[in-house]
Amino acid sequence: MNKLPSKKDILDWISDNPTLTAKRDIAKAFGIKGPDRIELKKILRELEADGHLSKRKNSFRDPNQLPPVSIVEVMAPTSDGDLLARPLEWDGDDVEPIILFMTRKSDPALGRGDRILAKLTKVSNEQYQYEGRLIRKIGISPTRVLGVFRQTSEGGRIVPIDKTGKEWTVSEQGRRGAKDGELVLAEQIGPKARMGLPKASVVERLGNPSAPKAVSLIAIHQHGIPDHFPDDVVAEADNQKPAPLGNRTTYFPDRVVPMLPDRLSGDLCSLHEGVPRASIVVRMQIDKDGQKLGHTFFRGLIKSHASLTYEQAQSAVDGAPNDKCLPLLETVIRPLYDAYHALVKARELRAPLDLELPERRVELSDEGKVISVNFKDRLDAHKLIEEFMILANVSAAEVLIEKKSPLLFRVHEEPSDDKLESLRETAKSAGLVLAKGQVLRTKHLNMLLRQARDTEHSELINMSTLRSMTQAYYSPENFGHFGLSLRSYAHFTSPIRRYADLIVHRGLISSHGWGDDGLTAFDIENLAETANKISETERRSMLAERDTTDRYLAAYLSEKMGSEFQGKISGIAKFGIFVRLDETGADGIIPIRSLGREYFDYDQTTNTLMGSETGITFSLGLRVMVRLTEAEPTAGGVAFELISINDEIYKRTGGRRGRGDRPKRMLVKSKRKAAKSKLKARRRRTGS
């Protein structure tokens, strides 16, 4: 028997030969053969149990050392332009090492989030511990999960916040200090196995999931909204200074995720009272009937005399000006309202879609806890700004079309025939009419909305009309804006929070010859791709905002378990009925299993559920009384139990329904199917 190597000998060998760490490589290096291999296996297991080695497939390595070839993820570049990376797997006791990526001219472009197979060399440096070179790029956007960490004896599991039911296992090393019940962001490790749960590793600890201000954070991470800027971008923004005069003429409830760094979005590009700010200005002339006579764009320097809230301006024109509004009342505020009243005449003639959809307002305490949920007041001050912005956006589109400059249009196409037919069916069920056999105009939809106004069906018809609409998007081609009843429309008025507006600003600069900061050749060449990208980003932001509001509402309602609320049926699905509460506008579901033991048939054409035994029919707009049975702030889920419909107590047919509660026609069909199966089996046995 050969003398077996000591544990130190084995560790030294692995450290000096990181590519030869399989058991057979170690055995060959020390001349171990036959029965001695069993003893070597015991030593390796002891080293693994003591934490000196970690086993990876059939090889062993020092957990405090990275393999010479590893998969790493590229991090944000430093302010000096250095590209750093982090290992996707790290089992060591020390802090996760940082890798300085050494790029070559032949390497493809790399950015934050890219995953690469890299060759690593250990170095001695205070800032990073390894240098890496690209072997190949293996992909971007790794599978990520946001959830609550739950500790187990093996390490832990992650329960996703979106209630998908899919859980992830986490090793003891992969938990990275996460505590039981903590909100974490994790990434999948390796390909999904055929059997068992997928494996993940914690990449970020986000704190208590029930903390009030975690709500927006959940939505931001769940929808992948970037909430920070690379160091070099922040440094460039911080170095900017206010623009000189030159040849110029004189939204989550508890946080904002800006499009630009704060130095720009919150300072240099944002209006502040008494501070000159660079801008692109449009001067528009209208007649007494609100028809636009002309417009002129120019670069300007604006100095705001007062920062007023909508409520302050409205109070001033209504006869109760405060000290800030009083000096501006006759010279600024009243003339603005006079112009607005003229624009209202033009709006009525144009007849844009006139939906009445009150907006919810979530009021938070300083600690981020929901104090109240109300509906925002819609003041003339809000409508005034809206009309002026629409007119400015139209002017921007018209001037760029005239100058044959590329731009991004805001496009809203007509609703599809199928959705219109569904809207007609909904209107018919409410005793209302949407005319057929003519080219649809917004005025036809407005006629339907006026029929429903001040009736119990008003909210139903407004919501159904909204759902029949297509979603607006950005496009380099002009297809008009159906909802606003406009031939040409672009976004110009919000360049610090919408990228489409920046494109329009650059087009104005280029087409007027105002400088070299206009549209670039890259902007023009990639206009269609940019339009698709920002349309997708807009949809993502809208979903995140909606999810955030839902979670805050669930948090608010979670303290009212068992309470009863009035509401209306706002949606129908195979699995249940959606109800919107009158008081808060919160949406929740009545699960179909809670309605009784009878079978409910879903009719997609009429969007109804009908009981097979009682014949009771659930349809949109019915008034209901419900009892709150579940409110989950982390996932934003709310569930109800039905108490009454249109003031009549709802009587269930019995307990929960089971297989025996299906209609007779389904039972007959099942029996026939079973009989056919038995007949086939008998024929196979007899050979007939």
From residue 338, give the alpha-carbon distance in Å to each of 8, 150, 200, 330, 682: 88, 62, 62, 11, 89
Q: In the beta sheet, which residues pair with residue 72?
A: 87, 116
Strands 99-101 and 144-152 turn out to be unpaired
Q: Could you tell me if 301 and 277 are in contact, meaning their C-beta atoms sit under 8 angstroms apart?
A: yes
* pLDDT value of residue 661: 42
Q: What is the pLDDT of residue 359?
A: 80
- Structure tokens given for 598: 């009878």
Q: Residue 20's pLDDT is what?
A: 61
DSSP string, 41-78: HHHHHHHHHTTS-EEETTEEE-TTS--SEEEEEE-PPP
Token pair 């949406």: residue:
587
CB 468 within 8 A of CB 415: yes
**CB 619: neighbour CB atoms within 10 A?**
18
The burial of 255, by beta-carbon neighbours within 10 Å (0-12 exposed, 13-18 middle, 19 or more buried), is given as middle
Give 9: exposed, middle or buried? Use CB within 10 Å, 0-12, 13-18, 19+: middle
- How far is the C-alpha of 218 from the C-alpha of 552, rounded, in Å? 11
Q: How far apart are CA 175 and CA 464, in angstroms?
A: 47
Q: What pLDDT was estimated at residue 322?
A: 95
606: its two tokens: 């009429």
Over the chain (688 residues), what is each successive 10-residue block's mean pLDDT? 75 65 76 80 74 52 72 74 78 75 78 78 80 76 77 85 75 85 82 72 81 70 63 61 57 63 76 88 96 95 90 96 94 96 96 87 78 85 96 97 96 92 87 85 94 88 90 95 96 90 95 93 92 88 82 88 93 91 91 90 86 89 93 86 93 55 39 49 51
Strands 370-375 and 360-364: antiparallel
Give me 275's structure tokens: 């501070």
Written as one string, the DSSP assignment of 288-299 is TT--EEEEEEEE
The pair phi, psi for residue 370, each rounded to 5°, is -70, 120
Return the pLDDT at 408. Answer: 96
- What are the φ/ψ torsions at residue 535 (nearest 5 degrees)? -65, -40
CA 624/CA 647 separation, integer angstroms: 7
The set of residues, in sequence order, having a beta carbon less than 8 Å from that of 535 and lying 6+ positions away, is 473, 474
Please answer whether residues 387 and 347 qualify as being in contact, where contact means their C-beta atoms are separated by less than 8 angstroms.
yes
CB atoms within 10 A of CB 226: 11
Which pLDDT does position 223 carry in this prediction?
66
Give the whole-angstrom CA distance, residue 446 versus residue 449: 5
Helices 417-429 + 458-468 axis angle, to 10: 170
What are the structure tokens assigned to 644, written together?
A: 């009454």
The terminus-to-terminus CA distance of the chain in angstroms comes to 70
